[in-house]
């Protein structure tokens, strides 16, 4: 018989009971459920709502249950609808009437909201530390290849040469903002719903501030209906996960491209790639592809929860039971992807020569030649046209802009002088971009220093 079966004359359909249960998913928050119950019971006894003896029995009983769950000896009963029922049933079986007093002034509605918030804080915390670890590896990788030149792209067409370190640092800053988003999701979850009871609060003299303190929440939710009925903090967490997956997915797409024969910029280590069952020569960037692929499911988790919550009247509705799996899935997926990304980046080899050669191809010096003319007084739009003509003639001759002689250049414009020679190689072009946030080595060194400082501050989070 279910713990709530008092007013029932017939049994609920077994199929419906099993179908409506959340026990399997709830196991992820078993420890949080017990922590919530311990805090509630302690507060009840401090308020004189239950006796100290009852509290001692409850505390010892919950401790035993926690131990059994942790060492795998807890007797799970498939008939229990959720973790709250499972723990309460085991407690009552163990300690009798004292156990039956635990649920005084409490409902599963504020209980589940408490559990999920504690779980969300833990998930966010784990994600925050893996995010920092990945950013550490990104910085190390950028430092290791600090002056390697590569083509910078727009529309995936060669645009202007950039430093690989600069390119990698772009991802560092994206992941830094992801850290901020995850931290905000942590803060959103960090408020105590316990004491809201079913929906309206309770007539028992609960001390809600006390459970806030005991459970290490930083605030007490001021409205009982809101406390039991919203899951927006999970949306915050899933949004942060989805955005970070999107960032990883972009980097993975680049890893897939860079490790192809066409690019040949990097080789992934054996430890972080796979082979083909039929083509002996193959080494596939599977884990980059899979990370890119898993972005879809995390975005799906976010959309799914948004749609689940839309249109729910106040306060608790059973629909909300659906919110846990997606949140766990999004967080677990991102956590693993951070680890995979770290492994791939830390062990990949970079082919500087291939990158530098590619940085030369596709007339990546064109902007600089036009800038040269503009700096000598030619209106930029006119310079753009002159260089366009030069590119066309190079294309016909099968050479690069840097291969043109001074005579070739002077035939296009009398403004060209000897000082243009030797400035059109990719290194010089990259190093000329000295603006703050630009790709010149000096600017990147400043950026690296700033990035280290930001990461150090995030470690104090």
**Binding segment (CB under 6 A) for ligand ARG, from list 105-113, 344-352, 362-370, 387-395:** 105-113
- Dist. CA 193–CA 217, nearest whole Å: 10
- Going by their DSSP bridges, the two strands 191-192 and 219-220 should be labelled as parallel
By beta-carbon proximity to ligand ARG, the closer residue of 7 and 381 is 7
Tell me the three state secondary structure of residue 274: strand
CA torsion angle 143 149 154 155 (round to 10): -100
Q: Is 398 left (phi over 0), alpha (psi -120 to 50) or beta?
A: left
- Dist. CA 312–CA 199, nearest whole Å: 14
Do residues 121 and 186 touch, judged by C-beta distance below 8 A?
yes
Hey, which residues between 281 and 340 contact ligand ARG (CB under 6 A)? Answer: 318, 320-321
- Going by their DSSP bridges, the two strands 219-220 and 266-267 should be labelled as unpaired
**Among the listed residues 33, 82, 301, 329, the single contact to ligand ARG using CB under 6 A:** 82
By beta-carbon proximity to ligand ARG, the closer residue of 37 and 364 is 37
**Among the listed residues 32, 101, 108, 360, the single contact to ligand ARG using CB under 6 A:** 108
Hey, which residues between 22 and 41 contact ligand ARG (CB under 6 A)? Answer: 22
For residue 109, state whether it binds ligand ARG (rule: CB under 6 A): yes
For residue 145, state whether it binds ligand ARG (rule: CB under 6 A): no
158, 276, 349, 428: which one is catalytic? 276
155, 203, 277, 349: which one is catalytic? 155
Determine which helix (DSSP H) or strand (DSSP E) holds 161, and give its type and residue range. strand 157-163
Q: Tokens 């503009």 appear where?
A: 374
**Binding segment (CB under 6 A) for ligand ARG, from list 98-106, 107-115, 117-125, 184-192:** 107-115
**Binding segment (CB under 6 A) for ligand ARG, from list 56-64, 106-114, 283-291, 300-308:** 106-114
Tell me the three state secondary structure of residue 4: coil
By beta-carbon proximity to ligand ARG, the closer residue of 22 and 244 is 22
The H helix count followed by the E strand count for the chain is 19, 6
Q: Tokens 């003299």 appear where?
A: 205
280's tokens: 């002996």
155 included as an active-site residue? yes
By beta-carbon proximity to ligand ARG, the closer residue of 29 and 366 is 29
Do residues 306 and 235 touch, judged by C-beta distance below 8 A?
yes
- Asked whether the CA dihedral 67, 70, 76, 81 is positive or negative, the reply is positive
For residues 5 to 24, the per-residue mask of contacts with ligand ARG, x marking binding by CB under 6 A and - elsewhere, is: -----------------x--
**Among the listed residues 112, 137, 298, 359, the single contact to ligand ARG using CB under 6 A:** 112
Tell me how far, at minimum, the Cβ of 442 lies from ligand ARG, in Å. Answer: 56
276 included as an active-site residue? yes
Tell me how far, at minimum, the Cβ of 24 lies from ligand ARG, in Å. Answer: 11
Residues making contact with ligand ARG (CB under 6 A): 22, 82, 108-109, 112, 318, 320-321
Q: Which residues are known to be catalytic?
A: 155, 276
């Amino acid at each position: 018989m279910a713990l709530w079966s008092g007013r029932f004359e017939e049994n609920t359909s077994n199929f419906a009971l099993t179908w409506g249960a959340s026990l399997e998913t709830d196991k992820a928050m078993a420890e949080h459920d017990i922590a919530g119950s311990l805090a509630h019971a302690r507060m009840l006894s401090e308020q004189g709502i239950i006796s100290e003896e009852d509290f001692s029995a409850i505390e010892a009983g919950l401790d035993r249950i926690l131990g059994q769950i942790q060492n795998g000896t807890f007797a799970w009963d498939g008939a229990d609808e959720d973790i709250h029922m499972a723990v309460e049933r085991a407690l009552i079986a163990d300690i009798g009437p004292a156990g039956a007093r635990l649920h005084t002034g409490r409902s599963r509605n504020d209980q589940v909201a408490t559990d999920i918030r504690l779980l969300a804080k833990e998930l966010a915390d784990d994600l925050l530390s893996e995010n920092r670890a990945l950013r550490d590896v990104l910085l190390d990788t950028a430092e290791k290849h600090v002056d390697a030149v590569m083509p910078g792209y727009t529309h995936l067409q060669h645009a202007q040469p950039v430093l690989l370190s600069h390119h990698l640092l772009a991802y560092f800053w994206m992941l830094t903002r992801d850290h901020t988003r995850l931290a905000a999701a942590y803060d959103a979850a960090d408020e105590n719903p316990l004491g809201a009871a079913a929906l309206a609060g309770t007539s028992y003299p609960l001390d809600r501030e006390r459970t806030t303190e005991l459970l290490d929440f930083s605030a007490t939710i001021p409205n009982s209906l809101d406390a039991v009925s919203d899951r927006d903090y999970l949306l915050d967490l899933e949004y942060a996960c989805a955005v970070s997956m999107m960032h990883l997915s972009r980097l993975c797409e680049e890893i897939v491209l860079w490790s192809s024969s066409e690019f040949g910029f990097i080789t992934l280590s054996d430890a972080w790639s796979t082979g083909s069952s039929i083509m002996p020569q193959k080494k596939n960037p599977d884990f980059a592809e899979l990370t890119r692929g898993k972005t879809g499911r995390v975005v799906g988790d976010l959309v799914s929860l948004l749609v689940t919550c839309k249109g729910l009247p106040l306060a608790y509705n059973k629909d909300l039971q659906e919110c846990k799996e997606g949140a766990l899935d999004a967080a677990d997926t991102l956590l693993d992807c951070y680890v995979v990304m770290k492994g791939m980046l830390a062990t990949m080899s970079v082919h500087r020569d291939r990158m530098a050669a590619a940085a030369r191809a596709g007339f990546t010096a064109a902007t600089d030649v036009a800038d040269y003319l503009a700096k000598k007084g030619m209106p930029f739009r006119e310079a753009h046209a002159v260089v366009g003509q030069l590119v066309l003639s190079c294309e016909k001759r099968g050479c690069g802009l840097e291969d043109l002689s001074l005579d070739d250049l002077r035939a296009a414009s009398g403004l060209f002088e000897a000082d243009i020679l030797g400035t059109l190689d990719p290194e010089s072009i990259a190093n000329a971009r000295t603006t703050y946030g630009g790709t010149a080595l000096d600017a990147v060194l400043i950026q690296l220093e700033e990035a280290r400082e930001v990461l150090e501050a995030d470690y104090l989070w």
